[in-house]
Structure 1
Amino acid sequence: MPNSLLYFAATLIWGSTWLAITFQYGAVPASASVAYRFLLAGMLMLGWCALRGERLRLSLAELRWSAFQGVLMFGLSYMLVYEAEHHIASGLMAVLNSSMVLLNVLGMRLAFGRALDTKSLLGAGLGILGIALVFWPELSEVRGASSWLGVACGLGAALLASIGNLVAQRNRNLAVPLLPGIGYGMLVGGTTALLLTVLSGQPLVFDWRPQYLASLLYLAVFGSVVAFACYLTLMGRIGAARSGYIAVAVPIVALLLSGWFEGFVWRSWTFAGIACAVVGNMIMLLDVAGWLRKIGLARLAARLA
C-alpha cells in the first residue's frame, strides 16, 4: 500500500473516532472503555495474524518491547486522553495532542540522533499554530483548577504517546514483527487500563446499548486495528517525525465532521488555522525543496532539504 494511502486512511479513521468516542461516555468508566477497546482490538489483531500465517511466537525481548509500547501507546496515553476530556473541551485536547508532532521531532533527535532540520521544525510549528487558531475560542476559556488538570492530562497523553512512537520506531528498526507486536501491545495496554480501573475502585460495568456496542466495535476494528496498522507501517517507512504529523491532520477531519453532524460554527481564524495546517502538512510530507529548486529558489530549497 502506498504511503499516501496509509496516511489518509489513518487520518480519516482517527478523525472520525473523536465523534465515536462521544458514544462511549456514560455508565462505563473511561478507563474501562479503553480496556474493552484494546483488549478486543488485540484479540482481533492476533486472530488476523494467525489467519495470515504470521509468526506469533516472539522472543522474550520482542515481547518485552512490544509490551512497553502497548503500555505507553494503548494504555496510559489513552486513559489520560479520556480523563482530559472530562475537564476540557475536545478541541483543546486536539491542540494538546498536536504537540506530539514537535515531541516526535525532538524525540527522534534524542533517541536516534536524527538531525533537527528546518523542514521538520517549520512544518511542526505551522501545524501546531494552525490547530491552535482553529480551536482558539476553547483555548481562551482555560481557567480554574479543573481546566488546568485537563491540560496537564492532555500534555501527559501526548508525551506518553510520543515516547510510545519512539519505542515503536525502535521495534521497527530491529525488525520486530509489526502486526503481532501491535496485537500483543494492545492486549498489554488494555490489561493495564483494566488493572488501573480495578485498583482505582471504579466498577467494571458494561453498557449493552446499541450506541455503545457499535462505537466500541468501530473503535476496536477501525480506530485501533486498521488505523494503527496503517500508522505504524507508515512510521516504519518515513519515521516517527513525519508520520506523527497525522496528529495535526486528524483534528481537521474531526472539525469537518463536527461541522456536518454537530453544527460547528466556522470563523475567520478557523480558515486561517486550516491554511497553516495544510501548508505545514505540505512541508512535512511533500518534496517542497525539489519544487523550489525547479522555480529557481535554490537557496531557500537548501534550507528545507
Structure 2
Amino acid sequence: MRSTVLYVLTVLIWGSTWLAIEYQLGVVAPEVSLVYRFSIAALLMWVYCLIKKLPMQFSLENHLFFMTLACCNFGFNYLILYWAQDYLTSAMTSIAFSTLLIMNIINTRIFFGKPIAPRIFIGATLGLAGIIGLFWQDVKTLDFASEAIIGLGLSLAGTFVASLGNMTSVRNSKNDIGIMQGNAWGMLYGSLFLLTFTLISGSEFSFDTRLPYIVSLLYLSIFGTVIAFACYFVLLKDIGPEKASYSVVLFPVVAVTLSMMFEGFVWQSSTVIGFVLVLTGNIVVLTPVHRFRRLFAADKPIEQS
C-alpha cells in the first residue's frame, strides 16, 4: 500500500509541475524564479538532514560531484526547460522530457559500461518517430527558426543535461553517499550557481506578488522538488529502479490532461500518433523481453492431453 501511494504521488506531482512552471513565466526571469525555488528546497532539505542528524561532511572529490549534480539536476537543466516552455505548452515539453529514459540508458552504457539490450533500439526508434509526429507541422517545413523547433531543441537539451545529472547521482550512490545528503548539497550548490548566473547575466531580481506565481513557486519548491524526489527515492529502494521508472512514462499523461484543461491544448492527428509512439517506445525500453514472452505465453490456449 505504501508503494502504491508513493507511486501515485510521484506521478501526480511531477506530472503537474509542468503546468505549474507556466505560472512562473512572464514577469520574473526564469533564472530568478529558479533561485527562489531551489533556495527554498535547499533550506528544507538541510533542515531535514540536520534534524535527522545525517552526516554532512564529505571529501573535496565528492563536493565536485555535488557541484556537477547541482548544475545538471538542480540548476541549468531546469533553466533550459523553463526556456523551452516559453515556446511550447507544458504538455509538449513533458512528452519531450520523457526521452530521459532512453538518454539514461545510453549514458549508462557510456559511463558505466552497461550493455544496451536490443529492445532499446526499438524503443528509441519509436520515441524518435513519436517526437517527429508531435512536431510534424514544423518538421515538414524544415523551418528550424520556428518556435516549436526551438522549444523542442531546448527540451531535448535540458533533458540531456538532466540525464548527465542522473549519471552523477548513480556515481554518488555507488560511493555510499546518502541520497538525502547528496540532494541537500546539490540543491544548495544549485541555488548558488543559479544566483551567480543571474548576477552575471544582469537579470533583475523581481518578484511577482500575484497569487498564481506565489502558489506555483511554493508548489514547485515543496512538492515538485522536495516531496516528489523523496517519494521517488523511496520507490527506488522499495520496488527497484525498473518499476519506479514507469512514473516517467505516466507523468506526461497527467501533464497533457492538465494542459487540455488549463492551456487549451488541442489534439491533432499527428499529435495523437506522436504521443502514442513516444509512450509505446518508453514502455518497450522499460519492459524486458522475458515479460513479453510470459504475456504471450499466458494468452496461448492450454493444450488438452
Q: How do residues 203-282 of structure 1 correspond to structure 2 at under 5 angstroms?
A: 203-234=204-235, 238-239=240-241, 246-282=247-283
Cα 1:285–1:96, aligned 2, differ >3 Å: closer, same or farther?
A: closer
2: distance between equivalents of 1:226 and 1:137? 38
**Aligned letter for 2:37?**
R
Name which of structure 1's ranges 117-126 and 280-289 shifts more when overlaid on structure 2.
Answer: 280-289
Q: Does 1:10 align with 2:10?
A: yes
| Unpaired stretches in structure 1, ≥5 consecutive residues | 298-305
Contact 1:49 1:180 in 2 (8 A): yes
Q: Which residue of 2 aligns with 1:195?
A: 196
**Aligned letter for 1:23?**
Y
Give the C-alpha shift of residue 2 in structure 1: 6.5
Q: How do residues 73-222 of structure 1 correspond to structure 2 at under 5 angstroms?
A: 73-127=73-127, 129-130=129-130, 133=133, 136-137=136-137, 143=143, 145=145, 147=147, 148-222=149-223
Name which of structure 1's ranges 116-125 and 183-192 shifts more when overlaid on structure 2.
Answer: 116-125
Name which of structure 1's ranges 135-144 and 281-290 shifts more when overlaid on structure 2.
Answer: 135-144
TM-score by length of structure 1 reads 0.82
Q: What's the C-alpha RMSD, in Å, of the aligned pairs?
A: 3.1
Give the C-alpha shift of residue 278 in structure 1: 4.7
Q: Which residue of 2 aligns with 1:54?
A: 54
Cα 1:11–1:105, aligned 2, differ >3 Å: closer, same or farther?
A: same
Give the C-alpha shift of residue 204 in structure 1: 1.1
Deviation per CA, 1:7-29: give whole Å up to 9, x if none. Answer: 54333211101111111123211
3-state secondary structure, aligned to 1:93: helix
2: distance between equivalents of 1:135 and 1:4? 34
Identity of aligned residues (%): 35
Q: Which residue of 2 aligns with 1:42?
A: 42
Deviation per CA, 1:214-262: give whole Å up to 9, x if none. Answer: 11110001111112233345557745x8766644433221001122333
**Aligned letter for 2:228?**
A
2: distance between equivalents of 1:212 and 1:183? 25
Q: Which residue of 1 aligns with 2:302?
A: none
1: distance between equivalents of 2:122 and 2:4? 21
Contact 1:88 1:150 in 2 (8 A): yes
2: distance between equivalents of 1:132 and 1:243? 27
Name which of structure 1's ranges 117-126 and 20-29 shifts more when overlaid on structure 2.
Answer: 117-126
3-state secondary structure, aligned to 1:24: coil
2: distance between equivalents of 1:262 and 1:155? 22
TM-score by length of structure 2 reads 0.82
2: distance between equivalents of 1:167 and 1:235? 16
Deviation per CA, 1:58-80: give whole Å up to 9, x if none. Answer: 34333332222011111111111
1: distance between equivalents of 2:279 and 2:93? 20
2: distance between equivalents of 1:235 and 1:142? 41
Give the C-alpha shift of residue 47 in structure 1: 1.1
2: distance between equivalents of 1:138 and 1:231? 35
Cα 1:280–1:137, aligned 2, differ >3 Å: closer, same or farther?
A: same
* Structure having the higher Rg: 2
2: distance between equivalents of 1:151 and 1:274? 14
Name which of structure 1's ranges 127-136 and 153-162 shifts more when overlaid on structure 2.
Answer: 127-136
**Aligned letter for 1:31?**
E
Name which of structure 1's ranges 46-55 and 285-294 shifts more when overlaid on structure 2.
Answer: 285-294
